[in-house]
Amino acid sequence: MSERTFSVPRGMRDFDAQEMAKRLWLNEKIVSVMERCGFQIVEPTSIENLETLEAKSGPEIKDEIYYFADKAGRNLGLRFDLTVGMTRMIVNRPDLPEPIKICALSGMWRYDEPQFARYRHFYQWDAEVYGTIEQEADAEVIALGMDILESVELRDYEVRVSNRKFAEGFLRQLGVTGEERIEQAIRTIDKYRKISADEFEDEFRKIGLSDDLLLKTSEIISLKGPADRVLASIPNEYTKSEMSSKGHKELSRLFDLLEDFGKLEKCVIDLSVVRGIGYYDGIVFEAYDKGGEDVGAIFGGGRYDKLCGLYGRREVPATGVAGGIERLMISLERASLFPELTQGPKVFATAVDEQSRPKVVKLVTELRKKGIPCDFDMKGRTLKKQLEYADSMKIPIAVILGPREIERGVVKIRTMKTHVETEVRMDELAEEVERRLQ
């Protein structure tokens, strides 16, 4: 037999039963919130045409994703987020009544360099609202993200909100011209709180902007705090253009709505938040765990009214939010917020002798029909070995059945933690097990 060992590809991971128990618990919490907010669950395809992926992020996206030619020579790629597939689905469905609220929770792939909190295969949840320009939709997706964090009791966080219209508007007023230079400046601003001041200045100068522009830009994007204070602090000269004025008004309106949602306390305006992806064109936001910002944003999103036009003949206004499962799990682990979770059976049915085994199988079948996770010995072991196995698997309850119990119509129940045994009638077993598992 070969002694060769096989490992997973770099940047990929296996999930053992303990981690999967946490993931399933977290997924259930997230899906419950999304459904409660009226979103319908969908599942976009994992493999897209390469041109579909490039339409959102340009040909350079090939440097960051897994792409390949299939046996028919078609250029395909593994999805790097859920928004692309969900948007493609919606623009091809003009029959759907608007607004359209859909969500997904699934895996995706990026050819990033593996590092802390960044993996080549990872999972995200995503919720999108299509078909309305009203800011209630922006407030809705922010509130949804906050409700997800609250549902898992992660309460020490902050949601930082800004507006791409305002950012682009004040850059134009400062004299930054040309779409390419605007996008370069936006991507640099996105790094403002993520790199050192010296690195930020170097990045700004690399795109050919002057020290005077750097000073004025830094003056604006450093503003952060409660909405009323920040909005009042913005010099009037930077809200004179139609674009920057509209962005300013959208921020003011959004925070009025967040107050109506009861979400104002943990939301601030941070004008350095611009989300470095070019398709955002309105409200943008990112949420950070105050106990560990090194993880990065635990959810983020914004408005993208023009993206749908890339995937169909009609433009559909849209806004959305997405969060990384792995990042959220790190925050929950650090705060010890995961409950004690296990997968597997809650009951292990044992047979005293060989003759009792058929009856044990019937007993297990009945417990399973009543929704009780149950298992039994499949190795022909002695009673002692069966109980040792149940103990090693941390199964809380063992059921013991032998000729004497069968004759009397009873069964023994052992609480594995205390080794205390009691007898109950066979027809009362399921009810007693459920009582003990509560």
CATH of the domain at 351: 3.40.50.800
Q: Is 269 part of any domain?
A: yes
pLDDT score at 209: 78
Of the candidates 114, 145, 436, 163, the one whose C-alpha atom is nearest the C-alpha of residue 288 is 145
6 part of a folded domain: no
* Contact assessment for residue 303 and residue 281, using Cβ atoms and an 8 Å cutoff: yes
Is residue 200 domain-shared with residue 110, that is, in the same domain?
Answer: yes
> Where residue 2 falls among pLDDT bands split at 50, 70, 90?
low
Q: Which of 301, 334, 367 is the last residue of a domain?
A: 334
**280 with 372, same domain?**
no
Confidence at 1, pLDDT banded by 50, 70, 90: low
Are residues 385 and 329 both part of a single domain? no
Which residue's entry shows tokens 């000269």?
237
Prediction pTM value: 0.91
Name the residue range of residue 55's domain: 17-334
Confidence of residue 276 (pLDDT cuts 50, 70, 90): low
pLDDT at position 205 over 70: yes
Quote the radius of gyration of the chain (alpha carbons, Å).
28
- According to the model, what pLDDT value does residue 19 have? 94
Given 334, 369, 394, which residue is the final one in a domain? Answer: 334
Instruction: Compute the distance between CA of residue 24 and CA of residue 107 in angstroms, rounded to an integer.
Output: 14
Question: Does residue 187 share a domain with residue 71?
Answer: yes
Instruction: Quote the CA–CA distance of 139 and 133 in Å, as a whole number.
Output: 12
Residues 111, 136 share a domain: yes
pLDDT at 12 over 90: no
Q: What is the pLDDT of residues 46-90, one digit of tens each?
A: 999 999 998 877 788 899 999 999 999 999 999 999 999 999 999
User: Both 153 and 245 in a single domain?
Assistant: yes
Residue linked to tokens 């007693």: 432
For 160, the token pair is: 């930082």
pLDDT tens for 288-337 read 999 888 899 999 999 999 888 888 778 899 999 999 999 999 999 999 99
Q: Domain count for the chain, please give it.
A: 2
Whether residues 322 and 401 fall in one domain: no
Are 58 and 108 found together in one domain?
Answer: yes
Angle at 384 between CA 381 and CA 387, to 5 degrees: 90
Provide the pLDDT for residue 182. Answer: 86
- What DSSP element (H or E) covers 160? strand 157-163
Residue 241 included in any domain: yes
- Is the domain of 388 the same as that of 310? no
Identify whether 2 is part of a domain: no
Extract the tokens encoding 110.
């990026």
With both helix axes pointing from N to C terminus, report the angle between 197-206 and 179-189 in degrees, rounded to the nearest 10: 170
Output the six-digit token pair for 152. 């898992």
The answer to whether the Cα torsion of 11, 28, 320, 287 is positive or negative is negative
